[in-house]
């Protein structure tokens, strides 16, 4: 387990599409551990593998309800609309209002290769959508409808 440097926009790796994980190996377990360690150290509520320079479809999220690790996550259902504030560890100091689905169902694999389905709303839904965007080279700044003043206390 290790804390990695988080890539900062405009690093071109952040704009690349990540590859699906074909086989879960000890290297993928190590990646999950490193993502979680790096996310908690930052601190943040989510982190995607491309943010530490690894172009694999792997994310971690923790909005205060426990760590969620997902391999090859995909949004299989979405409903409603919610516009809310977002920031990103790869875009320090920037915050903006971003439209997202209000609720999502996400399917992916856990570290043991078991299928996992998560129904989420609120902050968890927002965080999952944000991190899955990273896997396709999309940053929240691409979707901002209104920029917010930087207020570190709100991060």
CATH of the domain at 55: 3.90.45.10
Q: Distance between CA 130 and CA 126 in Å, rounded? A: 6
| Residue 2 belongs to a domain | no
| Residue 126 belongs to a domain | yes
Give percent of the chain above pLDDT 90: 95
Report the pLDDT value the prediction gives residue 28, as an integer from 0 to 100: 99
| Residue 42 belongs to a domain | yes
Q: What is the pTM of this model?
A: 0.95
The per-residue pLDDT for range 141-153, each reduced to its tens digit, is 999 999 998 544 3
| Residue 72 belongs to a domain | yes
| Residue 3 belongs to a domain | no
| Contact predicate 45/122, CB 8 Å | no
| Residue 110 belongs to a domain | yes
Active-site amino acid positions = 131
| Residue 94 belongs to a domain | yes
**C-alpha gyration radius of the chain:** 14
The per-residue pLDDT for range 72-93, each reduced to its tens digit, is 999 999 999 999 999 999 999 9
- Residue ranges of the chain with per-residue pLDDT less than 50: 151-155
| Contact predicate 25/31, CB 8 Å | no
* Other CB atoms within 10 A of residue 152 CB: 8
Report the pLDDT value the prediction gives residue 149, as an integer from 0 to 100: 82
**Number of domains comprising the chain:** 1
The residue segments making up the domain with residue 94 are: 12-154
H or E segment and range at residue 83: strand 82-86
Q: How far is CA 64 from CA 36, 40, 43, 128, in A?
A: 13, 11, 12, 13
| Residue 18 belongs to a domain | yes
Report the pLDDT value the prediction gives residue 150, as an integer from 0 to 100: 58
């Amino acid at each position: 387990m290790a804390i990695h440097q988080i890539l900062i926009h405009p690093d071109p790796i952040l704009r690349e599409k990540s590859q699906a994980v074909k086989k879960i190996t000890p290297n993928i377990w190590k990646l999950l551990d490193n993502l979680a360690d790096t996310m908690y150290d930052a601190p943040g509520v989510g982190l995607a593998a491309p943010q530490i320079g690894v172009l694999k479809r792997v994310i971690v999220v923790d909005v205060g309800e426990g760590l969620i690790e997902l391999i090859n996550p995909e949004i299989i259902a979405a409903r409603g609309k919610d516009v809310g504030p977002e920031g990103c560890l790869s875009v320090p100091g920037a915050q903006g209002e971003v439209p997202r689905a209000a609720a999502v169902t996400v399917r992916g694999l856990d570290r043991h290769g078991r299928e996992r389905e998560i129904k989420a709303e609120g902050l968890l839904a927002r965080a999952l959508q944000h991190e899955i965007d990273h896997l396709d080279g999309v940053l929240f700044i691409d979707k901002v409808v209104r920029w917010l003043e930087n207020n570190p206390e709100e991060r």
